[in-house]
Amino acid sequence: MKKILVTGAIGQIGSELTIALRSQYGAENVLAADIRPALNESMQSGPFCRLDVRDAAAVNQVVEANNIDTIFHLAAVLSAIGEEKPQQAWDVNMNGLINVLETSRVHQCALFFPSSIAAFGTGASSLDTPQDAIQRPTTIYGITKVSGELLCDYYHHCFGVDTRGLRYPGLISSKALPGGGTTDYAVDIFYAAIKIRHYECFLRTDTQLDMMYMPDALDAAISLMTADCKKLKHRNAFNVTAMSFTPQQLAAEIQKHIPEFTISYSIDPLRQAIADSWPRHMNDSAARAEWGWQAHFDMPAMVKDMLEKITLK
Ligand code: NAD
Ligand code: SER
């Protein structure tokens, strides 16, 4: 990785991945790109360009002009917004990915594509969900994730593109707010706990979902992209996980730090149905065996760190 492009760089993952990559590979070697203008300071720490990934010629031009050799392709529409705007989700998630894959083929770039727990549906076992399980998602977001995994496999097998990917669980982070997903409650709850000591949760009290703290998510992406390719049997995409909890369990952990914090529930049927179709905890033994994946943050460590970071904001 010498010259890196991050698409969707202003989003929840991109804001932090861009900084992590710049500190390892040099600020001038990591080009951040997004359809939105760069307003936050993390984007101003190095080069930035406006880029709509649906514009094939523009993607090709940015890669060629900047001698890019590695792309972290994060631009996407997430699950909850995807259900409200399915055509837009398909357009951004699939046409954006095929443009980035084609450019990677032409310019021989390595490509990171994040898939999701959403790539599974109710047909797969929700606990200890195997790496190779049936994938019949019921959301447009999940459908674009399975299709993306398959397209990345295809570009590797047919054209030799070095595609690699992870199935992330819900990600929790303190820098940028999440962008319209179903697991967003697990970030929103911290801001509400600190500001008003109360959170009204849109998922049911017992909705158990797979989760990960952002430092582990960044570590997973960079470790996979620098792993020995000869050892990778599952390139697209590896199950990775770190913790699994319900809103009730998360609230109880926050109460250890803020005893007066309370939680109530006002269920959003759309996001509840999405959450009910997703794994509660994936099996990530393939990632552990093939490239040494290991998470460092469990739920108590994540809660402590989140409260400290958000309080300091
Ligand atoms: P996000 O919604 O926070 O950020 C996505 C970014 O993409 C935004 O900054 C947005 O402006 C940009 N974007 C949207 N349309 C674009 C377009 N046409 N061209 C260029 N940029 C465009 O999302 P995120 O949470 O950072 O997720 C990044 C990737 O990781 C996505 O593929 C997502 O599916 C995947 N993922 C995220 C999570 C999570 O919990 N955050 C979990 C699993 C997988
Ligand atoms: N956190 C993401 C979402 O809720 C999962 O991919 O959409």
Substitution site in 74, 77, 78, 173 for ligand 2 pocket (most atoms within 8 Å of beta carbon): 78
Mapped onto helix, strand or coil, the DSSP state of residue 244 is: strand
Q: Write down the pLDDT at residue 306.
A: 98
pTM for the full model?
0.97
- Cis before residue 237, ω within 30 degrees of 0? yes
CB 116 near ligand 2, within 6 Å: yes
- Is 185 in the active site? no
Quote the ligand 1 centre to 178 CA distance (angstroms).
Answer: 9
DSSP 93: I
Q: How many residues does the chain have?
A: 313
- What pLDDT, on a 0 to 100 scale, did the predictor assign at position 312? 86
Alpha helix ranges (H) inside 196-292: 214-225, 247-255, 269-276, 285-291
- Ligand 1 nearest-atom number relative to CA 170: 40
Q: How open is the CA angle 94-97-100, to the nearest 5 degrees? A: 150
* pLDDT at position 304: 98
pLDDT of residue 39: 78
Reduced to 3 states (helix: H, G, I; strand: E, B; else coil), residue 189 is: helix
In this structure, the residue with its CA closest to atom 41 of ligand 1 is 171
Whole-number Å distance, alpha carbon 183 to ligand 2 midpoint, is 6
- Residue 93: CB within 6 Å of ligand 2? no
* Residue minimizing CA distance to atom 2 of ligand 2: 181
pLDDT of the residue at 44: 85
> Taking the domain 4-169+214-239, which CATH number applies?
3.40.50.720
Is the C-beta atom of 168 inside 6 A of ligand 1? yes
Which among 141, 155, 199, 213 is annotated as catalytic? 141
Q: Which residue has the tokens 């460092």?
A: 296
User: How far away, in angstroms, is 53 Cα from ligand 1 center?
Assistant: 12
Give the class (CATH, top level) of 171-211+243-280+296-311. alpha beta
Sign, Cα dihedral of 145, 184, 309, 304: negative
- Long-range contacts of 309-313, Cβ-Cβ distance < 8 Å, separation of 24 or more: 309/174, 310/174, 310/190, 310/191, 310/194, 311/194, 313/174
Q: Is the CB of 78 under 6 A from ligand 2?
A: yes
Residue 119 three-state SS: helix
Please indicate whether residue 183, judged by its CB atom, sits closer than 6 Å to ligand 1. yes
Can you give the pLDDT at residue 313? 80
Question: pLDDT by residue for the chain (313 residues), tens digit each?
Answer: 899 999 999 999 999 999 999 999 999 999 999 999 987 776 889 999 999 999 999 999 999 999 999 999 999 999 999 999 999 999 999 999 999 999 999 999 999 999 999 999 989 999 999 999 999 999 999 999 999 999 999 999 999 999 999 999 999 999 999 989 999 999 999 999 999 999 999 999 999 999 999 999 999 999 999 999 999 999 989 999 999 999 999 999 999 999 999 999 999 999 999 999 999 999 999 999 999 999 999 999 999 999 999 998 8
The pLDDT of residue 157: 97
Domain boundaries defined on the chain: 4-169+214-239, 171-211+243-280+296-311
